[in-house]
Amino acid sequence: MGPYNPYSGQGGRPGGPKIAPELRHLKRLLSSDLEYHHRWQTHRFLDQDAPDGRWLRLGEPDQIAEISVVVGLHHYYLARAHEYTGRTRLMDSRKQLIKDIPKAELHIHIEGSLEPEMMFDLAQRNGVTLPYADVESIRTAYQFDCLQDFLDLYYQGMSVLLTKQDFHDLTWAYLLRCRDDNVVHTEIFFDPQGHTGRGVAFETVFEGIWSALQDGEQQLGISSRVIMCFLRHLEQSDAMATLEEAGPFLDRIAGVGLDSSEVGHPPGKFLDVFDRAGELGLKRVAHAGEEGPPEYVYAALDGLLVDRIDHGNRALEDPALVGRLVELKMPLTVCPQSNLRLAVVRDMKDHPIRAMLAAGLKVTVNSDDPAYFGAYMNENFNALVDAVDLSADEIIKLVKNSFNASFLDKDSKQQHLETVRVLVED
């Protein structure tokens, strides 16, 4: 008979020590506790019948892994197994809540929802040559570790978007993901300068996006707002020209934003264009405190007079700034998976979302550029559950924040919040 296998319960000396069936999965679940070292050595178990507690040699060094298990630990491991099962069930219940609860997304760049398959299809449809042989090559290229590397790929991807139908198809594909993730309201960013600068008319871009959003409301029941962003690596004069070009469409544009490369391009560059947007009755938001320092958040508050801060992670470095944001009830549209992929945090376990909530900040969860970062809304929430043990109460708080921080009218906000209340109370 061969050496005893504690996971199958087979083999070993007749009448010798056996490990209960509940422990068979511990190699997978609790390998660190069992000192499983992934090297081929000797398999030893304490002989329950031996008064001197001697070890039985049940295998040869080149046959099986070294796992030292004393019988005294038997019940400990059983307890750990049951504890693990309880945690898994709790985690599953929170992920079901994430799936079921209606949500608003407030930080999504529509160009950042361009999946590799669509990029390749649009390139073929429009006769655009890409430096990639196939979809898998594009997907491989969606690997980067800093904001600038991502932006270089992001702007390259835009090159396949040429017609109204292209922008419609891009937006519709995102709305289908909203439906799947139970996102019932979305406020999307678009970057007109990234298109007009390569010869695509503003009208083509906007009407393509708008037609899909209208279809989304009629067919999917998803409401939306559009936020026109200025590219901060360009000059303010370019942003002002874009605002003027948008004039005929402003009745359908909810606000303006500021995105692209943050470091070296402080909010103060864009004071005049944001003042003008305010005069036109537009909401104002700005990316600040992602890679840029806390001073950029101050500048967005005091100079641009923003209604929301996009990202804002680095505000935590300045306690006085945190206090001010709390006092203002200023929303922060946080993007966890984006933060990980762009090295704002080194590990999702280090993400400050719970610290932000504990500090009283009005934070929300969003996907940012989901095709490039590999995570839409629910995947961002699920990642936080896995990494930082986000609680059900915290999930509910984040969802409520998303509606309260939206640019919906008061009645619409209350309707969504009531739906959330009924769901979580039931």
For the beta carbon of residue 369, count every other beta carbon within 10 angstroms.
28
Torsion sign, CA atoms 15, 21, 25, 29? negative
Catalytic residue, chosen from 111, 187, 290, 394, is 290
- Give alpha helix (H) positions in 14-160: 26-29, 74-100, 116-126, 135-141, 147-158
User: How many whole angstroms separate alpha carbon 132 and alpha carbon 118?
Assistant: 13
State the SS3 of 176-236: HHHHHCCEEEEEEEECCHHHHCCCCCHHHHHHHHHHHHHHHHHHHCCEEEEEEEEECCCCH
Amino acid, res. 141: A
DSSP three-state, residue 161 = coil
Strand order of the sheet with strand 55-57?
A: 55-57, 44-46, 68-69
Domains plus CATH for the chain? Answer: 21-90 (no CATH), 101-425 (3.20.20.140)
8 Å CB contact between 44 and 13: no
8 Å CB contact between 406 and 149: no
- Whole-number pLDDT of residue 12: 43
For 132-163, letters b (16+ CB in 10 Å) and e give beeeeebbebbebeebeebbeebbebbbbbbe
Indicate the pLDDT class of residue 368, thresholds 50, 70 and 90.
very high
> Nearest-CA neighbor of 36 among 83, 69, 12, 60?
69
Residue 326: phi and psi, rounded to 5, are -65, -45
What does the pLDDT average to over 314-339? Answer: 98
8 Å CB contact between 415 and 184: no
User: How many whole angstroms separate alpha carbon 31 and alpha carbon 131?
Assistant: 44
Lowest average pLDDT, out of 75-84, 167-176, 272-281, goes to 75-84
Is 290 one of the catalytic residues?
yes
Q: In this predicted model, which residue has the larger pLDDT, 34 or 364?
A: 364
Token pair belonging to 127? 């006769």
8 Å CB contact between 142 and 116: yes
**pLDDT tens for each residue of 290-306:** 999 999 999 999 999 99
Token pair belonging to 164? 């109204």
Indicate the pLDDT class of residue 116, thresholds 50, 70 and 90.
very high
Indicate the pLDDT class of residue 90, thresholds 50, 70 and 90.
low
**pLDDT tens for each residue of 45-82:** 333 443 444 333 334 443 333 334 433 444 444 444 44
Residue 6: phi and psi, rounded to 5, are -70, -15
Q: Any idea of the CA torsion for 252, 176, 220, 158, to the nearest 10 degrees?
A: 20
Q: Does the pLDDT of residue 334 top 80, yes or no?
A: yes
- Whole-number pLDDT of residue 139: 86
- Whole-number pLDDT of residue 258: 98
Torsion sign, CA atoms 183, 417, 250, 187? negative
8 Å CB contact between 11 and 3: yes
pTM for this model (two decimals): 0.79
Q: Does the pLDDT of residue 178 top 50, yes or no?
A: yes
C-alpha 87: how far from chain center: 23
